[in-house]
Every structure is written in C-alpha cells, then in structure tokens.
A and B are shown apart, each in its own frame.
Chain A
C-alpha cells in the first residue's frame, strides 16, 4: 500500500538502496534473493533415492531382450496368471456343481447361483468361440447360413438339452460320429427348370410371401413328390433331420426367389464343429463350459 508509512522490510531495503539480492545484475535489473526452503531440497534428494531404489526393486532398465527384472520379482503377467488361478479356484466348486445338476433344472428360480454363473461364463465362452460365425449379438449371418440364435425357430431343437447336444457334437462334421447329420440333394440335377421355378413359387406362397399363384399350384405336386419326405407334407420341417420349417417367416439362407432357387438347385450343407472335448478329439470346451454356453444361448430369447 502506497499510503503506508512503513513499507515491507524488503521494500525498505530496496528504498535504502540495499536490497537483499543475489548479486546478479542484468542491465541494472537486480534479482531478489528468495531462497527455496531447504526441506524442499531434501525432498528432491529423497525423490532421487526413491527413483534409484525403485529401479532396483521393480522391472526398469531396458535391455536388448526385455528389461532388468527387479529384485522383488514383480511381474504384471505373473499377477494376471495368479488372478486367473485364484478365480479358477474360487469357481471350482460351482463349476463342478454345474456339471452335476440336471441341465434342464438349472433355472433362475431353482438354482440362481448356477444360472447366473452360467449366463456370465456362457457369455464369455460365446464371445470367444461362437461369435466368429454367429456374431457378437448371436444374430447369425443370413448370407452365409449361420443361424440366428435369438429367434424362436430351431433347426435341431431349442430346449437346453437339444442345444447342449448340438454344441457338443456339432453339425455335419467328420470329427464326431454323433454329429447332427442330414444332407439335402441338389435338385438341379434331378428336376427341370420349370419344376424348380414352380416349387420356388409354391414355397413363397406357403411362407406367406408374394408369389405367382398359378405356378405355385403347379409347384405343390413337385413339392409333395420331392421335398415332403423331409420337410413334411405341410412344410413344417422335421427337427430330427434338421429339415427347416418352410412355412414360417424365418429363412436360414434368405427367402427371396433367388435365394430359394439357389437352395433348391444346389442344396445347402452348413457345418459346425464339435465342441465337446469328451465326445470328440476335435472338441475344445469342458463340460461345464458347454453347459454354461448352452444355458446362455437358451436365455437369448428363443429358448424352448
């Protein structure tokens, strides 16, 4: 404050021409001496000691192949491995019980702990092993014939036991003798173009899509003679043979005229590997993982 009679000591010394300066002077500008606190200096030294100790204790100095390991033996990789082991040990009991309880009895009401574990664990198994074909959201890929697992239409059965069997043994593979198996003939070799065109219109008609009614009527005879053996007279399909229901709104490979004609002419042969390590040498999943992913798929909205 300019109206103070007694200025701050620093100011007094400055006015007296004797300020406490560092003695440095640049073009007449002097530097006040405002030394840092000494404890600050000690803190600085302490951080240096800490830094050196840290690099001795923990992995630090980069070498050609890796880094100095540190005398504490600290390793994030080992920590993760220990965490995984710890969680495995914690889950050992629930995983055993998951394989012992009757599969269909594992529901939210009857066994909430098993059910919740299966949903969470099954989601992880699905994301790791199933999502490559069926998609992360389990909606499948129609263009490639990977089935949508969310809807209420099942080729081989939608109970949790049927789902478990399908996942365990797979579909149309040579690795597992119990794999789901059926094969549709390529009717391009057996039927003329006119018959194929007629049966395509018949299938469009019975599935409720726009169709040429005249051709469809002609196609019914072709259907009953060639297709009904597997897909049944009413077109509802046969899960025992994995023969799809042809009358509903869901088409594995698409319901357009072109897609249906392609299916009839060249047939389809969708495959799925066996996942059970017990049932097949090609399998990769343990029984508790199979059960978990079966319960997970069953819970996605289409389970029967």
Chain B
C-alpha cells in the first residue's frame, strides 16, 4: 500500500446550484402539476360534506381520536384497514408501473420535495433575480442590500413553510374550528408541534437542502434506478447527434450541440445531462426545454436532449428509424403492472360497494367454557361487538341460525334486542343456553351461527362460533 499526494478532505461542501429560468412545454406541464397538487393539498380540508347532525361535515378527515377515516361518501373503520393496505399495494404497483415506463417521473413532477423546491426557486428568482444576479449576490459581501434580499426571501419561504405545515393538521380535525383555535392559542399541543416540525422541514428541505435530499436522504431514487430497464423512457442526450460538440459558426464535421451550456444552467440538481445517466438526475425535463429553445434558434430539429429509452441511442446511431415513445411505454412489463394495479383497484371498489352497515365480531368467553345452571342446562357466554356504521341509531336483534332449542339472552336486556347508537360500537354479553338433555348440552362442541339483523330489516350479518357442552361421562 502506498499513499501519494496531499491529504484530501473527507467531507465536501455542497456546491451551490443557481438554476436559470426556463420556459417550454415541460416547464408548463410542471407549472400545471404544481398548481394542481398544491391546490388539492390546500383546498381539500376545507371541502364540506353533509353526513347528518351527529357526524363531522368535513369531506376528508382522518379522525385519529375516534378512529374513523372520512372520505366524501366513504367511511373507513379500523376493522376495514385492508382498504388502506390495498391502496398502499396499489401505490407500490403504481410506482413499478410508472418507473418501468417513464423512469423517475415521480421525482421530476409530483414528489413534494420537487414541488416545494420548485416553489422556493420561484420565490428566489422573484426576489433575488435570475441565475446571474443570484451568482453575483452569492459572491457579494454581506452588506445591507444582501441582507435585505436574503431576509425577504427567508421570510417568504417561512410563510410558505408555515402554510404547508399548517395545512397538514387540518386533515386531522375540523378545519374551520382548528384554524380559529390555532390563532387563539386553544389548539392541542400536538397540532402546534406538528405545524412547527413541518414548517422546519419544509423551510430547510425546500430552501437549503434541495437536491441533497434526493441524492443523500431519499431511498426512492436508488429503488427506482433498480426498477428501470433499457426500454424505460428517461431524459437523455442524443449523443450520436450532438457530438462532437463545439462552439463557433463553422459546423463542418461538428454535431448539433453548440456547447452553450443552456442545459447545465437550468438544471436544478447541477449536473450535465450530456455526461449520460446520473443518479442525481430527477428527470425534471427542464434541460429538454432549454435545449429545444436553442435548437429552434440555430435552426435544428428539437430533441437533442429528449425523453428516450437507453436503447434508442445505439438504434438511432445505426441509422434506423426513430422508435416511438409509445412503443417503449406499451410493452409486456408495463401491461402486467397495469393489469395488477387495475385488478386490485376493481377489487377494492367492489368491496367498497358490497360492504354492509352492520358488522359483528363474536369472542367466545372461554373462562370457563360453560356454566351449569341449577336446572342442569348449559350456558355459554359470548362477547359480541356490534358496529352500527349507519347514520341513525338502530335496534338489532340477535338470533341463532339453528333449529336446536337454544335460548338466546342478552345481559342487561329484557329481550334479544339491543340499541346501538349511530357511528359507534357496542359490546354486548350474549348467553346461549342449551336445555338439560338437549344434544348440544351433552356434546363437547356444537357449531352455531349467530345472526344479527336490524329491526328495519335493511341489513344483517352473521358470525360462526362454537358452543361447548358437558359430555355425559
């Protein structure tokens, strides 16, 4: 082992990135997605939805205290958590689908880190100017002018960050009430802590960490890179067309690239796309817009930098006709992902429509298994939980789906019926008594089916359980 040269730094400072303003089709698409996603985020908690007097009227509400998820006409109870699991599986398959078809399209357009960083860049340009002005300001001394611009920028960032953190908590409580409570100091401590944490992370991640979050902190880029293949569409440079690059008017023997660095100056992660695929690239496509603009000015066709598959480079270099982007997108792998994704989606939708307003769980009390009553009859006890998921108080009758002479009794209730208030769960002790000498009383186990039916006759549910008897020795 030999050591040569001067000792190097083990830790590198972040290279500041000053992306230039750009316009074009992908920039417009990014603006559209930014407005739509931020709009959904800020507006959703304020949409009202009438569910009757006893239930919250917020269209989308994650009520953690009462363990309910309200989504417009859908209400999810804790025992229906499989819907959430199903949605998460769909999100996973959706990621497979989009990554195999379009590479890191999530990173480039809809990741909150990208959207908020984009918003912060916009504020930065608005206050401090475009790339060159920002570069000058970066190198300038900390005088009054620089302080004024920096403090203004940070203040606006902070306001956006607070609005971001503030909007999040509205999903977990009644938004208008919480809005007033937040400003009058009456909201719960957890609300303030959540707002503070999200304000801090938005401010730091969007304003200062930026591409460092994607490069060093986020696991998605590594996972997505592993899921891409050579047919996945990604942002790439047409090397065969651009090289050898060079400036100047004399283009004999030169490629289309005039080495103007427009693609480098607009890049929000500070890379040169002409160097090939890089782990820093979030495929935001702004370099495509920048290059298309230049190509139009020099009278060359657009697409020197373009959405293309990695196989296209060799293919086009060999002089073969261009492969359509759609041919790369519609292939067996993406079809299978689409089919799986859609299959789960259809399954969940069907489940959503066939579920009943009544649900019941039966937990047999097994300590003891049975009780002998004074007349010799055998009694089993069951803890029955009845969930009334309808929007009205309902009375339910419990019965037994059996022709055997069991007697059904409810603790604390004169008959076999019990009232459950709307949107709540009731724990009811249910007794089944098998008369002395009946088959069930003398057998070790008898399978029984408990039925529950609301008195309006609109719904019923059942659960199978076991009755334990005392076998005659």
Contact = CB atoms under 8 A, between A and B. Distances in A.
A41 B10 CA distance: 10
A8 B279 CA distance: 12
Nearest to B376: A249
Nearest to B215: A37
A40 B317 CA distance: 43
A155 interface: no
B12 A301 contact: no
B367 A137 contact: yes
Interface centre among A26, A136, A139 (most CB of B within 10 A): A139
A299 B412 contact: yes
Interface string A26-46: 100000010111111100000
Interface residues of B, number: 43
Given A8-B275, A41-B11, A250 B243 contact: no
A249 B372 contact: yes
Contacts of A188: none
B137 to A, nearest CB: 21
Interface stretch (A61-69, A82-90, A146-154): A146-154
B276 interface: yes
A35 B4 contact: no
Contacts of A270: none
Given A4-B313, A23-B4, A139 B274 contact: no
B276 A7 contact: yes
> A-side binding surface: helix, strand, loop or mixed?
loop
A192 interface: no
B354 to A, nearest CB: 34
Contacts of A139: 367-368, 371
B124 interface: no
Contacts of A148: 368, 371
B9 interface: yes
A9 B11 CA distance: 20
Interface in A191-246: 208, 245
Interface in B354-412: 365, 367-368, 371-376, 379, 381, 411-412
Interface in A1-17: 1, 3-9
Contacts of B381: 150, 301
B371 A38 contact: no
A25 B374 CA distance: 91
Contacts of A135: 367-368
A135 B365 CA distance: 14
Interface in A128-143: 135-137, 139
B374 A37 contact: no
A24 B3 contact: yes
Given A6-B239, A35-B10, A249 B374 contact: yes
Given A248-B374, A249-B376, A37 B276 contact: no
B11 A1 contact: no
Given A301-B371, A301-B379, A4 B239 contact: yes
B367 A136 contact: yes
A6 B274 CA distance: 8
B368 A150 contact: yes
Interface string A289-302: 00000000001010
Contact of B243 (A5, A9, A23, A150): A5
A36 B371 contact: no
A148 B374 CA distance: 12
A107 B414 CA distance: 12
B412 A40 contact: no
B14 A38 contact: yes
B14 A37 contact: yes
A36 B215 CA distance: 11
B216 A40 contact: yes
Nearest to B245: A6
Contacts of B365: 137
Contacts of A136: 367
A253 B14 CA distance: 83
A72 interface: no
Contacts of A9: 275
Contacts of A286: none
Contacts of A249: 372-376, 436
Nearest to B2: A25
B342 interface: no
A39 B11 CA distance: 9
B310 interface: yes
A22 to B, nearest CB: 6
A145 to B, nearest CB: 16
Contact of A3 (B11, B313, B374, B429): B313
Interface centre among B209, B276, B277, B374 (most CB of A within 10 A): B374
A176 B215 CA distance: 78
A151 B374 contact: yes
Contact of B372 (A7, A24, A250): A250
Contacts of A107: 412
Interface in A244-278: 245, 248-250
B14 A23 contact: no
A5 B257 CA distance: 13
A108 interface: yes
B376 A36 contact: no
Contacts of B436: 249
A23 B244 CA distance: 33
A239 to B, nearest CB: 13
Given A26-B1, A35-B8, A35-B9, A4 B372 contact: no
A49 B368 CA distance: 57
Interface string B1-36: 111110011111110000000000000000000000
B154 interface: no
A107 B376 CA distance: 28
Nearest to B243: A5
27 contacts: A1-B276, A1-B313, A3-B314, A3-B317, A4-B276, A6-B239, A6-B275, A8-B276, A8-B278, A9-B275, A22-B8, A24-B1, A24-B3, A25-B4, A35-B11, A38-B11, A38-B12, A38-B14, A39-B212, A135-B367, A150-B379, A151-B374, A152-B374, A249-B373, A249-B436, A299-B429, A301-B381
Interface of A: 1, 3-9, 22-26, 33, 35-41, 107-108, 135-137, 139, 148, 150-153, 208, 245, 248-250, 299, 301
Interface of B: 1-5, 8-14, 209, 212, 216, 239, 243-244, 274-278, 310, 313-314, 317, 365, 367-368, 371-376, 379, 381, 411-412, 429, 431, 436
Given A8-B278, A248-B376, A249-B373, 11 more contacts: A3-B314, A5-B244, A22-B8, A33-B8, A37-B11, A37-B12, A40-B11, A148-B371, A152-B373, A208-B376, A248-B375
